[in-house]
Structure formats: C-alpha cells, structure tokens
A and B are shown apart, each in its own frame.
Chain A
Amino acid sequence: MVNLTAKDQLRQRVAWALSEVLVISTHLVSETSFHEILFPISPSQLKNEIIDR
C-alpha cells in the first residue's frame, strides 16, 4: 500500500477524501467486466441497433 507510506501524505489523504465524494464501488463495477465480454451487445441494445438501421 504505497499510499500509507508515501512521502506525500497530504496529497494521498486529500485524494482519499475526494474518492469518498466521487464514489465508485465494486458493488456495481466488476473486476473483469466479463459480462460485457460475453454479451458485448445486450438484447435491448440489439433491438435498438435494428431500429436505428
């Protein structure tokens, strides 16, 4: 954990505080995005693609 020992502690801690405001979480974001790889276009998107053409 480089940010526990890094010399720029103030910067690291401000960054941590900002990350609590502009949050992303592993609750909605997966590690690998495998879903997207297996299903590059969702059925609803596919429908939209067809409508668009």
Chain B
Amino acid sequence: MKIPRTWKWTEIFLSYNDIFVRHAFGNYKDILREVAYSPMMGEFLSHLGNKKAFGNNRPDENFSRELMQLFTVGTKMLNIDGTEQQVGGSHIPTYNNADIRTFARAWTGFDREYRRGNLEGYWFMPNRVDPMLIDGKWRDPFPKADLLGGYIGDKYPLCIDLPKRQFLRKGAVYRLQGSWNMPEVQYDPPSWKDMDRKYFELVNVSGLFQYLCNSNDISGTCDFRPEIYLNENLSCRGHECKVENVRLVKVQDVYYEYVRPACIELSFHKTEDLKLIVDTQSDTAMCLHRQIDDIAHDACCRKGNTVARNFCKFSGQRKSFDFASDQCKADDGFAGMCAWDEIFASPPCRLDSLSVQYHWTDQSCETWIGGKRIKVFLITMSTIEA
C-alpha cells in the first residue's frame, strides 16, 4: 500500500501492518481475527458502525462477502489439491446470498474504542489503532448459522448452565483497569463514567481480595498484576454472597474488570421459562429467561402495591428473576416482583434516568410481536410470520 507523501499521520497504517508482522509465521486465523476487529478494515469494508436490522435498515454485507470471497474460502469448492470440484461440468458454489446475509448479521455492532492519550494525531480524532468494540445495542440478536449447518457458538456452554457466582470460581479472569472506572468487555451506560457510583468494593478478608491485591509483604501493600486467574474455587464473603455476577470490582484504589467466560444465550425459550422485563425510558418490553442474571434489574413490590423499588450492592447490579425475588423478601422485606406501573430506581442503583435499564415483572411472557409470532428460518433473516 502506498501512503501519499503529503500525509502527516501514518501510525494508523503502521499499526495495521504490524498485524501481519506479528503473525507472519503464525496462524492465519489470528490474522483474520485482528484484521476483522481493526478499525481500519472496519472503515475500508464498512462494518464499522454496521447495525442490526431495524426499520428499513439492513446490515451491510460488504465485509461478510469479502471475508469469504477474498480472504478465506473463495467462491468455488476446491479439491484438496486446489483444483475445482465439478458436478456435471460446472463448479459448486461455496456459499450463496443467504449465507452472506446471515454473516452480515454477525458483523454488526462494531464501533470504535475510546481514544487514549498516546496515539498520534489530535485529541478529537477517533481511535483508529485499537481493536473495535462491540456495542450490544446495535448487535443483531438472532442465531447465526455457519456454512456447514452448525451455528456460531456451537460447543460453548449455555450461560444459564454455568455455575452460580462464576466470578469466584477456578479459572475466573480479571483484568487490571487501573483508575479507569468503566468496564470494557461488559457494559455500563457511557454516561456513568463521571458519575458518583457505588462500586463493588472488596474487603480485605475476602479470598478474591487476596488474589487481586497479591500482597506479599507484611504491610499489606498490593502488588497489582495486569491479569489475574483464580486457581481455586473461592467461597463468597459478605456482599459477595449477595450478588450473582460482577463487572468492576474495586480493590483499594484500583479497578479490576471481571471477564465473563464465553457462553451462549439462546434467542428463544419455552414460554414457561420466560418473564416479562420492562424499560420505562425506552418504553419497551421483552421476554427474558428467568435464570439469566446479567440483563434485568430487580423491582421489589409490597403486597398489593404497584410502585416498585430497586436495590443493589453496586450501581447497575443485574439479577436473575429468582435471585431478585429471594433478595426482595430476605433483605428488604418486600413481597417480590410484581406487575409494577411505576419504579423508583434512583442513585446509587440507577444513576441517571436516560440509560436503558430493564426491570423484572412477575408477568408471563411469550415471544409474540404485535400479535404475530416470530419465526426464525434456518440460515436466512428472521422473519415475522402472520
């Protein structure tokens, strides 16, 4: 690639080229991953800012197409020696338009990482060096098939099958954030960055504290490492026992982010497992599996009252339906979830009224939209059937 002589800023291209330098003798899969997440490739093949289907918007198919046509399988099925496979004198296509549309949905939600201080250029320029992040709001939520009849995510465990309090179990991973108080692989509303939050602060009798603090002198001074793996199952201490999951944990003056293991959330469930969740800000409601513990917030009601309260051990704590019900009764003297029509969700649990936060109701739920049941056709886009 030729960079024009007049260009002053070159770091963006050099950092892209460094992907190939790093992996020159490595694995092509690693190159593909880094290229796909590169904001430069995101700009070039337009999956940066690509959004799920809504209204008249359809996901951009550019990267999905080129990834197969130019970067990987190509358009024709080949024999092991590289010659074309033939059936009745014609070649066999590797994929069709439906495959491209399916994969286009997989390349949605990509956006730029926050800018950091030590990048070339002015402070107001976008971050064109670090791998893109995925914004759940614009991510297509439906299943995505692969070319061989399987689904993306096959072989991973279901999230609801993972043991409770995975963050205290052997193999749990924590990343050092320093003083940066926003989770990076999990989600908090960006507007919370400068707000006075209630953090999940560890006390020094906790086993998790000992791991993260990593102190080896008698004064107890922490020796923070960039990444921490738990080598054993820890038992919960204090408020650790009152949460199902964590995002940021505070250890003295620094933050660690808990990195959730890769797992699968199914798009469709049996009706009896579903409860209705509602967000008043966007005035929307959805069905959620009652055991999913990192989407919805609690809404505790007194008997016969429809004004609900929200409780938390840290700002934005999310709970499963059953855990939320138990906590309402045990800790706060309420009756449980209800069909609330008003909710008091105020600091420190909810810091602003603008961010989207879903709250549990005790209402049953079916995956119907506008009186029509959703049906997902294999491989192609989800469609609404009358």
Chain A residue with the shortest CB-CB distance to B23: A18
- A residues in contact with B35, CB < 8 Å: 22
Q: Which residues of A contact B13 (CB under 8 A)?
A: 24
Q: Is B369 an interface residue (CB 8 A)?
A: no
A24 in complex: contacting residue of B4, B8, B44, B49, CB < 8 Å: B44
A9-47 interface code vs B (CB 8 A; 1 in, 0 out):
011101110110111111011011100110000000100
Pick the contact of A11 from B9, B25, B32 — CB < 8 Å? B25
Contacts of B21 in A (CB 8 A): 11-12, 15
Chain B residues lying within 8 Å of A33, measured Cβ to Cβ, are: 43, 125-126, 128
B54 surroundings in chain A (CB, below 8 A): 48, 51-52
Contact with A along B49-81 (1 / 0, CB 8 A): 101001101000000000000110000000000
Does A7 belong to the interface (CB within 8 Å)?
no
- Knowing A21-B70, A24-B1 touch, does A31 contact B43 (C-beta < 8 A)? no
Contacts of B282 in A (CB 8 A): 53
The answer to whether B128 touches A19, judged by C-beta atoms less than 8 angstroms apart, is no
Tell me if B156 counts as interface (CB < 8 A to partner A): no
Q: Which residues of chain A have C-beta atoms less than 8 A from B8's C-beta?
A: 31
**A45: which B residues are within 8 A, CB to CB?**
49
Known contacts A36-B126, A48-B51, A51-B54; A29/B43 CB under 8 A = yes
The chain B residue sitting closest to A48, CB to CB, is B57
| Cβ–Cβ < 8 Å partners of A51 in chain B | 54-55
B2-39 contacts to A, CB under 8 A, are 2-4, 7-9, 12-13, 16-17, 20-21, 23-25, 31-32, 35
Looking across the interface, which residue of chain B has its beta carbon closest to that of A18?
Answer: B20
- Which residues on A sit within 8 Å (CB–CB) of B189? none
Q: How far, in Å, is A31 (CB) from chain B's closest CB?
A: 5
Least CB distance from B284 to A in Å reads 10
Least CB distance, A28 to chain B, in whole angstroms:
5
Set of chain B residues within 8 Å of A14, measured between Cβ atoms: 20, 24-25
Complex alpha-carbon distance, A32 and B7, angstroms? 9
Q: Which residues on the A side are within 8 Å of B121 (C-beta)?
A: 32
Q: Is B40 an interface residue (CB 8 A)?
A: yes
A29 touches B40 (CB 8 A): yes
Query: In the complex the two chains form, is A26's CB within 8 Å of B25's CB?
Result: no
Is B124 located at the chain interface by the 8 A CB criterion? yes
Tell me whether A19 and B1 are in contact in the complex, defined as CB-CB below 8 angstroms, given that A11-B21, A28-B43 are known contacts.
yes
Q: Which residues of A contact B (CB under 8 A)?
A: 10-12, 14-16, 18-19, 21-26, 28-29, 31-33, 36-37, 45, 48, 51-53
Known A-B contacts: A22-B35, A23-B1, A53-B282. Give 13 more (CB < 8 A): A12-B21, A12-B24, A14-B20, A18-B24, A22-B31, A24-B1, A24-B13, A26-B7, A29-B43, A32-B9, A33-B125, A33-B128, A52-B55
Instruction: Give 4 nearest A-B pairs by CB, closest first.
Output: A15-B20, A14-B24, A18-B20, A24-B44
User: What are 7 contact pairs spanning A and B, CB under 8 A?
Assistant: A11-B21, A22-B35, A23-B1, A26-B7, A31-B8, A33-B43, A36-B126
